[in-house]
Amino acid sequence: MVEPALFGPLDAILAPVIEYVILVLVVANMGTRLVAHRSHVEQAEADADSLTRHRLHEASNLVLLFASFYYLTLHVHAGMVMSVIVLGTVIADFFEFEGRQVELRQGWDLERPKAALVGSGLALAYAAFQSLFFLVKPFWELVV
């Protein structure tokens, strides 16, 4: 672990609990993804040209991305893995929204955001591993 001093007082508050904060943010992001998809389905049923980005989900993506970048300053290896997973999920969200607009223009039914669901599942698994490692530590030490 890098000695927390890069952001001063922020490190004193967030450094001990950042893994748990990221886990909560990943779960919240998955919830906002569900709400955003339901909103897109309702918008598509009402008017095919009125599909808009869900602001709460976009804010959730941004906060999760910043939290993973902050985690990178504290734990280089774990932060890099988490940042890459979260960045991939955010990019998948961006392109899947564009894909949904194409689906509407073609008159197709809206599909679930499959790539973003896989990305958020990976983010959830890694965040849970990092924050809840104390649960698997005895078994991990038997193997490693």
Q: What is the pLDDT along the chain (144 residues), one digit of tens a residue?
A: 555 567 778 888 888 899 999 999 999 999 999 999 999 988 888 876 778 899 999 999 999 999 999 999 989 999 999 999 999 999 999 999 998 888 888 888 888 888 999 999 999 999 999 999 888 888 888 887
Q: What distance separates the 2 farthest-apart alpha carbons in the chain?
A: 58
Distance CA 124, CA 104 (A): 30
* pLDDT number for residue 109: 84
Residue pair 46/25 in contact (Cβ under 8 Å)? The answer is no
Nearest to 71, CA basis, from 29, 21, 26? 21
The pLDDT assigned to 48 comes to: 64
Spatial distance between the Cα atoms of 93 and 99, rounded to a whole number of angstroms: 10
